[in-house]
C-alpha cells in the first residue's frame, strides 16, 4: 500500500507571491530571488495585479510594493480603489497568509507628514544615539504670513526643504530648497517643510531586510548658508540627487567645509533599526540618514517602503532568509495553536469523563 509521507511543515513546498509595479520589476533581480527561494524549497511566483488573486494563489507569503495603488486609491482613482478592495477581500479570506509588509504598516509610510510625526514621537528613544528627525511643518496655505507662522510654531528654519506629503511614486520626488521669505512664493501646498541640515553632501541609506541591515553611502545635496540668505529657491528631483551615480553642482561638497565626521557608525544604524522596526511594524524599509556637519547628530530625513536596495550585497539571500524565518515562526505559531487546540479538546474531554465518574 502506498502511503504519502506528509512532509514535515518546514520542508513543505511554499508559494511566495511577488507583487510589484512593472517599473520596479524591470530593475528587480527576479531570477536571483527565485533561485534563492528554490534553494529554500520556496516557489517564487510573479503576481499579476490585473488577474484574480484567488486564481493565482494559494500563497503562503505575499511580498508587495502596492504604494502606487494604495496612494491612487486614497486619491480617489476608481481602478486603484477596486484593486485595493480586491486585495482587502483576498487578505480577509487568507488568514494564514504572511503579508510583507502588512498594509497597516505600509499606510504609515505613504505620507511624509505621518512618517515624520511618527519619528518625532520616537525622539526620546533616540536621544542617547544623537539621532533625531529635523523640525518639520505641514504647509497648507500659499499666504506667506500663514506659512511663516506654521514654520515658527514647529521651529522650522531657513533654509528648508519642501516635499510633497505623498512619499512614493512619480511626483513624490520633486522638491525645493527655500532660502528666504521671497522664496515662500514657491511653496506649493499641501506639502511638508523640513529644516535643511548641512551634511557635507553625504547620505547614508540604511537598508533593512528583516533582521539584516546594510548601510550604503550615496551622494546628497551640498551644504548651504545657514539661516536666511539671498539664494534663489533651488528646485530638484531627489531621484537625480541621491542615486549612486548622481553627480552635479548640487552634490559637490564645498571646499573647506567644516568636515565634522559625516560617518554613520554601524552600531548607531543598529540602534536606529532596533528602535523603529517595532514601531513601524515593517521589515522591508530604507531609512535615509544624514549627519549634521556642525553637531555630528544624525538626522532621519526619509523612510521608504521596499526601496530598490541598490548597493546591498546578497539582497536576495537576505530576503529569502527573512521569508523562511517568517514561515518558520508562523509554522511554530500554528503548530502551538493546533497543539493548544488539541490539548484544550483533550482537557475538556478529560473533565467530561471526570464529571461522569
Ligand atoms: O529607484 P530604485 O529602484 O533605486 O528604488 C527607489 C528608491 O531608491 P533607493 O533604492 O532608496 O535609492 C527610492 O528611495 P528614495 O526615495 O530615493 O529614498 C524610492 O523608495 C522609490 O520608490 P518610489 O518610486 O518612491 O515608490 C524606489 O523606486 P522603486 O524601486 O520602488 O520603483
Ligand atoms: N532635511 C534635509 N536636510 C538636508 N538635505 C535633505 C533634507 N531632506 C532631503 N534632503 C536631500 O534631498 C534628498 C531627497 O530627500 P528625501 O526626503 O529622501 O526624498 P525622497 O523620498 O524622494 O528620497 C535627500 O537624499 C537629501 O540629499
Ligand atoms: Mg530618500
**267 CB neighbour count, 10 Å cutoff:** 9
How far is the C-alpha of 298 from the C-alpha of 126, rounded, in Å? Answer: 10
pTM comes to 0.90
Query: Measuring from atom 14 of ligand 1, which residue has the nearest CA?
Result: 307
Local structure of 11: helix, strand or coil: helix
How far is the C-alpha of 198 from the C-alpha of 194, rounded, in Å? Answer: 12
Q: What pLDDT shows up at residue 255? A: 65
Local structure of 34: helix, strand or coil: helix
**214 CB neighbour count, 10 Å cutoff:** 19
Q: What pLDDT shows up at residue 351? A: 67
Residue 221 · residue 190 · CB < 8 Å:
no
Report residue 335's pLDDT band, with 50, 70 and 90 as the boundaries: confident
Query: Measuring from atom 3 of ligand 1, which residue has the nearest CA?
Result: 308
Q: What pLDDT shows up at residue 350? A: 66
Give per-residue burial for 170-196: e unless 16+ CB within 10 Å, then b. eebbebbbbbeeebbeebebebbbbbb
pLDDT tens for 218-242 read: 999 999 999 999 999 999 999 898 8
Report residue 36's pLDDT band, with 50, 70 and 90 as the boundaries: very high
Query: Sign of dihedral through CA atoms 189, 124, 274, 91?
Result: negative
C-alpha 30 to ligand 2 mean position (Å): 29
Cell numbers of 203, please? 547620505
Q: Which residue ranges have their beta carbon within 6 Å of ligand 1?
A: 23-24, 27, 65, 67, 168-169, 172, 205, 238-239, 242, 286, 288, 302, 304, 307-308, 310
**241 CB neighbour count, 10 Å cutoff:** 21
- Ligand 2 contacts CB of residue 191 (under 6 A): no
Residue 165 · residue 111 · CB < 8 Å:
yes
**What is the predicted ipTM?**
0.95
Q: Enumerate the known binding-site residues for Mg(2+).
A: 288, 302, 304
What is the maximum alpha-carbon separation in the chain? 93
Amino acid at each position: 500500500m502506498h502511503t504519502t509521507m506528509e512532509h514535515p511543515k518546514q520542508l513543505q513546498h511554499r508559494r511566495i507571491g511577488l507583487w510589484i509595479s512593472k517599473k520596479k520589476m524591470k530593475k528587480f533581480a527576479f531570477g536571483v530571488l527565485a533561485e534563492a527561494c528554490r534553494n529554500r524549497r520556496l516557489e517564487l511566483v510573479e503576481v499579476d495585479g490585473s488577474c484574480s488573486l484567488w486564481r493565482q494563489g494559494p500563497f503562503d507569503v505575499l511580498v508587495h510594493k502596492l504604494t502606487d495603488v494604495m496612494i491612487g486609491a486614497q486619491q480617489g482613482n476608481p481602478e486603484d480603489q477596486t484593486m485595493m478592495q480586491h486585495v482587502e477581500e483576498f487578505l480577509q479570506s487568507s488568514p494564514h497568509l504572511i503579508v510583507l509588509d502588512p498594509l497597516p504598516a505600509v499606510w504609515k509610510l505613504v505620507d511624509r507628514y505621518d512618517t515624520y510625526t511618527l519619528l518625532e514621537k520616537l525622539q526620546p528613544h533616540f536621544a542617547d544615539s544623537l539621532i533625531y528627525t529635523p523640525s518639520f511643518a505641514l504647509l497648507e496655505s500659499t499666504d506667506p504670513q500663514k506659512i511663516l507662522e506654521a514654520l515658527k510654531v514647529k521651529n522650522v528654519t531657513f533654509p528648508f526643504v519642501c516635499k510633497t506629503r505623498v512619499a512614493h511614486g512619480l511626483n513624490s520626488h520633486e522638491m525645493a530648497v527655500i532660502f528666504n521669505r521671497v522664496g515662500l512664493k514657491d511653496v506649493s501646498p499641501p506639502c511638508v517643510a523640513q529644516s535643511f541640515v548641512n551634511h557635507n553632501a553625504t547620505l547614508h541609506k540604511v537598508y533593512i531586510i528583516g533582521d539584516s541591515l546594510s548601510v550604503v553611502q550615496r551622494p546628497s545635496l551640498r551644504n548651504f548658508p545657514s539661516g536666511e540668505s539671498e539664494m534663489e529657491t533651488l528646485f530638484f528631483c531627489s531621484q537625480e540627487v541621491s542615486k549612486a551615480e548622481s553627480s552635479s553642482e548640487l552634490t559637490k561638497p564645498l571646499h573647506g567645509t567644516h568636515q565634522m565626521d559625516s560617518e554613520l557608525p554601524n552600531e548607531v544604524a543598529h540602534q536606529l533599526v532596533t528602535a523603529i522596526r517595532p514601531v513601524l511594524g515593517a521589515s522591508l524599509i530604507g531609512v535615509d540618514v544624514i549627519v549634521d556637519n556642525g553637531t555630528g547628530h544624525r538626522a532621519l530625513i526619509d523612510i521608504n517602503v521596499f526601496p530598490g536596495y541598490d548597493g546591498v550585497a546578497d539582497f536576495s539571500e537576505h530576503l529569502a532568509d527573512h521569508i523562511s524565518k517568517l514561515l518558520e515562526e508562523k509554522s511554530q505559531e500554528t503548530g502551538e495553536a493546533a497543539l493548544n487546540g488539541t490539548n484544550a479538546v483533550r482537557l475538556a474531554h478529560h473533565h467530561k469523563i471526570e464529571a461522569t465518574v
